[in-house]
Amino acid sequence: MSNADHNMHLSEEPDYSHLLRSNLERVFNERDAGKRAKAIAELFVAEPIMYEPTNIVRGRAAISEVAGTLLEQFGPAFRFQPEGDAVGHHGLGVLTWKAGPANGPVAVTGSDVAEVVDGKIAKLWVLLNPAER
């Protein structure tokens, strides 16, 4: 592969940080179901799949429902926060995050790993770190 071919390929890579940080902020921190659905339509393919440690979630509406349920379960101050920028290449992106009450102790940490197709999330794996002892 020539340098020109290599550089052209790299310029076609999606902005993994923007995509995965937007997923945290506009989907998993969004309490308004209408705004969350609009964000999911912009960020995810038509039939996305999300893999959680104990569940497989299929479809945009189901992902929105999971996000809404999480926010209801943990209360109005609960937020996800990215830890730095996402990294990625060749259709795979990773973003580490932490979550808990705003200005409170961190309740959980983890990473989102996304398969990205045509600039949108096709598959999302939610990986939770073990609790610190």
- 5-21 pLDDT per residue, tens: 444 455 589 999 999 99
- 92-124 pLDDT per residue, tens: 999 999 999 988 899 999 999 999 999 999 999
Instruction: Tell me, yes or no, whether 75 lies in a domain.
Output: yes
In 3D space, the residue among 113, 125, 7 whose CA is nearest the CA of residue 57 turns out to be: 125
CATH of the domain at 11: 3.10.450.50
Q: What is the mean pLDDT of the chain?
A: 92
Number of domains in the chain: 1
Instruction: Tell me, yes or no, whether 133 lies in a domain.
Output: no
pTM of the model: 0.89
Instruction: Tell me, yes or no, whether 107 lies in a domain.
Output: yes
Higher pLDDT, 3 or 98: 98
Instruction: Tell me, yes or no, whether 104 lies in a domain.
Output: yes
Q: 50 is in which domain, residue-wise? A: 3-128
Q: How far is CA 44 from CA 34, 39, 63, 87, in A?
A: 15, 8, 10, 18
Give the pLDDT score at 10. 52
The answer to whether the CB of 62 falls within 8 A of the CB of 85 is no
